[in-house]
Amino acid sequence: MITFHLGVIDIPYGDENTTTGDVAENLEEKYQIMQTFFDRYGNDIADLMSKDLAANLENMLAGAPPGNDPFAESMSRIHDLFVGFLDNCEMNGLPGVPTLRAMKGISKRFKKRNGPPRPSFIDTGTYQAAMRAWVSGVLNAFPK
């Protein structure tokens, strides 16, 4: 069985008491960001993954051993889709989005805390950069 996951690399977030995992859980509970992303891009994600599978099968039929991560290319492209999803404010219009902090241009990245409006959920950029897509159960799908 292959299982697709969306999440973040759990690293410190701004202070030592908060991690990207904490931030992701809070944002998901309040805004369902990753669920909304998957709902909108699920077909694209499936297409990317199927292309990776096809390429790996072609390589195997040609005699090449399967790669360590047959979905590496699609997982990287899914991350890029997520970055664009946030950069392009695709959550706008859903309850509470854009966020008040985004509309006020509040950001922890700059000395001047208020600026022009910015996309929601990209205050420091850490959550967005830490997002990862991965698949578990792959080793069973491609015997060596």
Alpha helical stretches, state H, the chain: 20-31, 33-61, 72-87, 100-104, 126-130, 138-141
Reply yes or no on whether the pLDDT at 142 is more than 60. Answer: no
Q: Is residue 126 part of a domain?
A: yes
Average pLDDT over residues 64-89: 93
Q: Is residue 68 part of a domain?
A: yes
Q: Alpha-carbon distance 51 to 32, whole Å?
A: 28
Greatest Cα pair distance, the chain, in angstroms, is 58
Q: Is residue 20 part of a domain?
A: yes
Tally of domains within the chain: 1
Q: Is residue 5 part of a domain?
A: no
Q: Alpha-carbon distance 25 to 20, whole Å?
A: 8
Domain ranges, residue 21? 12-137
Q: Is residue 80 part of a domain?
A: yes
Could you tell me which residues are beta bridge partners of residue 136? 3
Q: Is residue 63 part of a domain?
A: yes
Distances (CA, A) of 136 to 3, 39, 54, 90: 5, 20, 18, 28
Mean pLDDT of the chain: 90
Give pLDDT tens digits for 100-139: 999 999 888 776 667 889 999 998 899 999 999 999 986 5
* C-beta of residue 141 within 8 angstroms of C-beta of residue 2: yes
Give pLDDT tens digits for 18-75: 999 999 999 999 999 999 999 999 999 999 999 999 998 898 899 888 778 889 999 9
Residue 55 tokens, joined: 């390429």
Q: Is residue 70 part of a domain?
A: yes
Q: What is the pTM of this model?
A: 0.88
The structure tokens 């309040």 sit at: 30
The structure tokens 């390589």 sit at: 59
- Give percent of the chain with pLDDT exceeding 70: 93
Q: Is residue 52 part of a domain?
A: yes
Residue 16, helix vs strand vs coil: strand
